[in-house]
Structure 1
Amino acid sequence: METLMTVAQLKERMDSGARTVLLDVRWALGDPHGRAHYLEAHLPGAVFVDLATELAGPADPSRGRHPLPPLEQFQQSARGWGVRDGDVVVAYDDTGNLAAARLWWMLRNAGFPTVCLLDGGLAAWRAEGLDVESGEPRVEAGDVVLSDGAMPVIGAAEAAAWSGRGLLLDARAGERYRGEIEPVDPRAGHIPGAVSAPTTGNLAADGRFLPAATLRERFTGLGVQAGLPTAVYCGSGVTAAHEIAALEIAGFTAALYPGSFSEWSNNPSNDVVTGAAPEGDASQADQATSPAQGG
Structure 2
Amino acid sequence: MQRDDPKTLVSTDWLSRHLRDPDLRILDASWYLPDMGRDARSEYDAAHIPGARYFDIDDVSDSRSDLPHMAPPIEKFMSRMRAMGVGDGHQVVVYDGAGLFSAARVWWLFRLMGQVDVAVLDGGFVKWQAEGRDVEDMPPIVRDRHMTVRRQNQMVKDVTQVASASKLGDYQIVDARSAPRFRGDAPEPRPGLRAGHIPGSRNVPYGTLLNADSTMKDPAALKAVFEAAGVDLSKPAITTCGSGVTAAVLSLALEIIGKTDHSLYDGSWSEWGMFPTVPVETGPAATGDN
Q: Alpha-carbon deviation of 1:59?
A: 4.7
Q: Identity of counterpart residues, as a percentage?
A: 39
Compute the displacement of 1:271 (Å).
1.5
Aligned-partner Cα distance in 2 for 1:151–1:101: 18
| Residues 127, 196 of structure 1: alpha-carbon distance in 2 compared, 3 angstrom cutoff | same
- 1:278 pairs with 2:286: yes
1:158 maps to 161
Paired residue for 1:57, among 63, 74, 78? 63
Stretches of 4+ aligned residues off by more than 6 angstroms: none
After superposition, give the CA deviation of every residue in 1:111-130 in whole Å (9 maximum; x if it has no partner). 11101011111111112211
2:17 paired with 1:9: no
Give the distance between the partners of 1:68 and 1:10, measured in 2 at CA.
27
Moved more, 151-160 or 211-220: 151-160
Q: Structure 1: which amino acid aligns with 2:142?
A: V
Q: 2:173 aligns with which of 152, 168, 182?
A: 168
Q: Distance in 2 between matches of 1:68 and 1:32?
A: 23
Q: Does 1:23 align with 2:30?
A: no
2:3 aligned partner: none
Amino acid at match of 1:208: T
Q: Residues 157-214 of structure 1, C-alpha deviation per residue, up to 9 Å, x if partnerless?
A: 2222324223111111111111122111521111111111111111111111011111
Deviations 1:235-256 (A, max 9, x none): 1111111110011112223111
CA distance in 2 between partners of 1:168 and 1:279 (Å)? 14
Question: After superposition, where does 1:177-188 map in structure 2 within 5 Å?
Answer: 177-180=182-185, 181-185=187-191, 186-188=193-195
Partner Cα separation in structure 2 for residue 126 and residue 260 of structure 1:
32
Map of 1:268 onto structure 2 = 276
| 1:232–1:244 contact (8 Å) kept in structure 2 | yes
Match of 2:70 in 1: 67
Aligned twin of 2:239? 232
Question: Are 1:121 and 2:129 matched, yes or no?
Answer: no
> 1:145 matched to which residue of 2?
148
Amino acid aligned to 2:274:
N
The Cα shift of 1:36 comes to 0.4
Structure 1 counterpart of 2:257: 250
How far off is 1:32 after superposition? 6.2
The separation in 2 between residues aligned to 1:235 and 1:245, in whole angstroms, is 17
Is the Cα–Cα contact under 8 Å of residues 30 and 40 in structure 2 kept in the other structure?
yes
Aligned pair count?
Answer: 278
SS of residue in 1 equivalent to 2:107: helix
Q: Does residue 213 of structure 1 match 2:220?
A: yes
Structure 1 residue 25: Cα displacement: 0.7
SS of structure 1 residue aligned to 2:160:
helix
Instruction: State how far apart, in whole Å, the 1-side matches of 2:62 and 2:180 are.
Output: 26
1:192–1:8: structure 2 CA closer, same or farther, 3 Å change rule? same
Query: Residue type matched to 1:244 in 2?
Result: S
Superposed CA offset, 1:234-289 (max 9, x none): 111111111100111122231111111111122111112211223599xxxxxxxx
- Please report the TM-score for the alignment, with normalisation by the length of structure 2: 0.89
Gaps of 5+ in 1: 282-295
Q: 1:189 to 1:122 in 2, by over 3 A?
A: same
1:157 and 1:175 map into 2 onto residues whose CA distance is 26
Aligned to 2:49: 43
Give the secondary structure class of the aligned counterpart of 2:156. Answer: coil
| Superposed CA offset, 1:96-136 (max 9, x none) | 23111111111111111101011111111112211111142
Matched, 1:191 2:167: no
Task: Report deviation, 1:67.
Answer: 1.6
Q: Residue 237 of structure 1 aligns to a residue in which SS?
A: coil
Q: Is the CA contact (8 Å cut-off) linking 1:107 and 1:113 kept in structure 2?
A: yes
Deviates more, 1:90-99 or 1:39-48: 90-99
Structure 1 residues 202 and 226: alpha-carbon distance in aligned structure 2, compared to 1, 3 A threshold: closer
